[in-house]
Structure 1
Amino acid sequence: MAVVKVLLEVEAPDQPVGFELFESATESLVAADRAARPALDRVAGLGVELDEPLPPVPMFGTRDGSAPWGGAPAGSLRAFAGPETNADLAATSVVVAAEVNSSQLAELRDREGVTVWPNSPVTLDHHEHDDAVDLARSRPGLDCRPFRDAVDLEVVRAMLGVHRAWWDGYRGQNVAVGIIDEGVNGVVYPVVGGFARPNAARQPGAAPITSHGSMCAADVLVAAPAARLYDYPFLGVANSGGVLTMFQAVLDQRRLDGTPHLTTNSYGYTGIPPVADFPNHEVHDPQHPVHRKVREVVASGAACLFAAGNCGADCPSGACHSSGIGPGRSIHASNSLAEVITVAAVNTRHERIGYSSQGPGMFHAEKPDLASYSHFFGNFGPDRPGGTSSNPFDNGTSAATPVAAGVAALLLSAAPGLTPDGLRDALYAGLTNVTGAAWDAGYGRGIVNAAASYSSLVR
């Protein structure tokens, strides 16, 4: 009998506070089990088991999505964030990661006050390197296998135009960037916090230098070398439940001191399951808990940047399923939410890299929002911390997204009062438009330009 991983959302009328629940549940696996018991009692007799090591996650809004952040009281999430208050918020429901026998799913879905959501694997948005030749650069303005040579880090900095802000003293200082990924190496990169839990598979700063998260860390520092980094390492669980837990950890940290100021996210789903069979799959349902939690983080004042994905039609990653390749099919789930900033990949010649996913987005049509640089020697490459054994250079929309996040951190260090919408506007104001279109399925509205965006703020 097959065992299925799910997220159970249980109405929580007796849960007056949410952060206290999450904090107590992260102290240990025993505490997590104790905190999950009230929710599991609602499905007693159906063979539901807690899926360790994920703690229960409180949700602060209704499932109908009546407000942009999922139904939370207007302004409540923004009001609670920061050092002025440690106020808690009432949870309207609690999400528990669980395992259940597939034969009992139908009965479980019929339980009053319980919603069964998928808990699907996510894939990191790096690009596999092989010797295949797809289009071999047969289209002008396209970088495809064999890819153009990677460039030095300083070339990317020059293309971004970071030195204008640096000369004025802004290098990302006083800004914390949350990296939600598989983990960051804290020996080489400035990890100052993140999500820690006793006996967790991953702790902040403990990842090897060859990790995907370490690449993301290096790429944030391209534009914002003075930024601080928070490491949110999926708890070793690369699925929707792991992502949901890390975004709750971000929200918890913001409640304490208003940081991190933004997050960078280089992962996603690589295919589209049939809607008839999976109507509330993360790709199809914008009210899935992980999407609502992302909205909560944005509503609290932290911008969230997401990789568009590596399933572009010209040379998609080998991880991509045929159902999720190409225009209109390759940007989905949280990557396509209106509230996030979705990032495509270009090289320093301003050519779209052929694997970069193409819009329209499945939730919000005009995705990607913008493009950023990939294929350079950042964490990986000759004489770089990660060497060349794992990857020859930083690649994928995975690299492009933290580069854009570093530009966002640079702007926030110059204008710390920017809201997520204000930060988006500042990024838009500086974009280099190479297509002439107001929005393009491959480039979004243009290519990130730190110098022009900074000038729009200080002129």
Structure 2
Amino acid sequence: MPPGYVRVLMQRNQNGMLLRAANDLLEGGSPVGTMGEYIQRNATPDFLIDDEFGALPLWDGADQRLAVSTRDRGEKASALLALDKSNKFLIRAYVSPESLAKPDFNDGEPVWLDPDVRGQLALPPANKATGDIEMVRQDLNTAVLQDNSLYGAGVAVAIVDTGICRPHLAKRLGFNPDLDVGNSWTPPTVATTPGHHRIGHGTMCAYGVLAVAPNVTLLDYPLLLGRPAGEHTVSATIGEMMSGYLKLIWRWAVIGTIPQTALVVNNSWGIFHPSLDDFPPGDPRRYIDNPNHPFRLYIWLLTAFGADVVFAAGNCGGGCPAAVCLQRTTGMIMGANAYDEVLTLAGCDIHDARVCYSTQGPSIAGMPQKKPDITAYTEFLGSKVLRGPRGFEPDTGTSTSCAVASGCIAALRTVQSPTATDPAAMIAALKATALPLGGAVPNYDYGFGIIRPVAAGRSLGIIP
């Protein structure tokens, strides 16, 4: 990014070049050539267009036109979400603050910030596990899930993170987990391939899912490695997340290449401080407190077509916030992590005590306030992706609790299709059957309580 410039997502009118650039992305090709042509014809001193980003369809008005049903998912999606049905597209650009302040910038079309996001990993103060994965399974009563054949077979789980190391998972779990390479996606800036990324945060999250639902099919989406050219942090931007979500929407809802009957999308990431959003509160260009940001349409489309989307609450709780929170502990559930359409997870240890860094509600002003939704387990010895001076580190952060909850949902989805129970109904069932803690329910520490998948299965009629 040029010094002093701001990275933004800009809405532009449809034309043949943007259609081709979007199609390049969906076919796995590079949009650079097409976007180079677009840049030549739309050159301006006000901003620099990122030719590697391509163009993302906005399907304006899709949320109003779509009658929600998963019975004819492919037919409805292909009719509604064809690229030429989108009158508007998003491109990424780098803009000087002076240009951005012009009232007629971008010909008056909307502009949104494209801020950094990172994984929600937090080390406990003592860096000491409170138990192990077997204790987590006992608390979740996974034996009853398995007695009822709820292993996650026929369910795809997309790990939107830093990538999966499948050999490490096989070593830790004692079996080689199923991975759909063809329906995974690796950003073009990443050299490693699905299932063979560096051991780290994404592998930890995949482990949390598999520990509860071992028969799921993993989809590897290392979007947190998809940083813009020239940046070298293990982070990404909302634009990268939207690019990956476009692939999921297309494959799940439109062309149907994801063959499983259910899809769970695990998001153990978020924006970690409001200072990353450079615009003042109330500015429509912001992401963190803007319920009308275009990313919400992408998440809504996935849920409308039956996918369960799960997010971590964050690690900025009042007791011991992670260092990246810069001591801010209020209004720290932000952006997509606060959307109504997603299930937002707080974290507790195996003794059911809220971990001190688990972010508390309410969400940031301007967003749905009643978050987190429920709580799941973290701070246990499980994946062993990290080793410190005292041995293996525990799996920590609301990243881990998010993954455990995704595994619980995947187990229930083994037989409970989104046709029978849509994502909103699944969220309602998990809230209604959670173990209530923290006083009046819901509350801002635990939400509705600690996840109880067996109770949820009974309420759904799939466990006697």
**The TM-score by the shorter chain falls in which range?**
0.7 to 0.9
Q: State the partner residue of 1:226.
A: 215
Aligned partner (choices 383, 404, 423) of residue 426 of structure 2: 423
Q: State the partner residue of 1:292.
A: 297
In structure 1, what is the Cα distance between the partners aligned to 2:307 and 2:36? 28
In structure 1, what is the Cα distance between the partners aligned to 2:117 and 2:68? 30
Matching of residues 362-373 of structure 1 within 5 Å: 362=364, 363-373=367-377
Query: How far does the alpha carbon of each residue in 1:74-122 deviate from its partner, in whole angstroms, 9 at most, with x for none?
Result: 2278577348975543113111122233332234853325322111111
Q: Does the 8 Å contact 2:24/2:30 carry over to 1?
A: no
In structure 2, what is the Cα distance between the partners aligned to 1:288 and 1:223? 33
Matching of residues 277-288 of structure 1 within 5 Å: 279=283, 280-288=285-293
Percentage identity across paired residues of the two chains? 26
Aligned partner (choices 214, 227, 251) of residue 253 of structure 1: 251
Matching of residues 334-413 of structure 1 within 5 Å: 334-362=336-364, 363-380=367-384, 387=387, 392-413=393-414
In structure 2, what is the Cα distance between the partners aligned to 1:364 and 1:376? 30
- The one-letter code sitting in structure 2 at the alignment partner of 1:159 is D
Secondary structure at the counterpart of residue 402 of structure 1: helix
Secondary structure at the counterpart of residue 244 of structure 2: helix
Quote how far apart the aligned CAs of 1:294 are: 1.6
- The one-letter code sitting in structure 2 at the alignment partner of 1:207 is H
Q: State the partner residue of 1:204.
A: 194
Aligned partner (choices 171, 183, 191) of residue 179 of structure 2: 191
1:74 and 2:63 matched: no
Q: State the partner residue of 1:437.
A: 440
- The one-letter code sitting in structure 1 at the alignment partner of 2:202 is G
Secondary structure at the counterpart of residue 146 of structure 1: coil
Aligned partner (choices 456, 459, 464) of residue 456 of structure 1: 459
- The one-letter code sitting in structure 2 at the alignment partner of 1:120 is P
Q: Does the 8 Å contact 1:128/1:318 carry over to 2?
A: no
Aligned residue pairs total: 426
Compared CA separation, residues 78 and 6, structure 1 to 2 (3 A)? farther
Q: State the partner residue of 1:24.
A: 24
Compared CA separation, residues 83 and 392, structure 1 to 2 (3 A)? farther
Alpha carbon RMSD of aligned pairs, Å?
2.9
1:124 and 2:122 matched: no
TM-score normalised per structure 1: 0.84
Aligned partner (choices 130, 147, 162) of residue 150 of structure 1: 130
Q: Does the 8 Å contact 2:127/2:393 carry over to 1?
A: no
Q: Does the 8 Å contact 2:131/2:379 carry over to 1?
A: yes
Q: State the partner residue of 1:133.
A: none
In structure 2, what is the Cα distance between the partners aligned to 1:190 and 1:372? 24
Quote how far apart the aligned CAs of 1:223 are: 1.1
Secondary structure at the counterpart of residue 106 of structure 2: coil
In structure 2, what is the Cα distance between the partners aligned to 1:168 and 1:299? 28
Secondary structure at the counterpart of residue 165 of structure 1: helix
Unaligned runs of at least 5 residues, structure 2 = 170-176, 228-235
- The one-letter code sitting in structure 2 at the alignment partner of 1:300 is F
Quote how far apart the aligned CAs of 1:246 are: 1.2
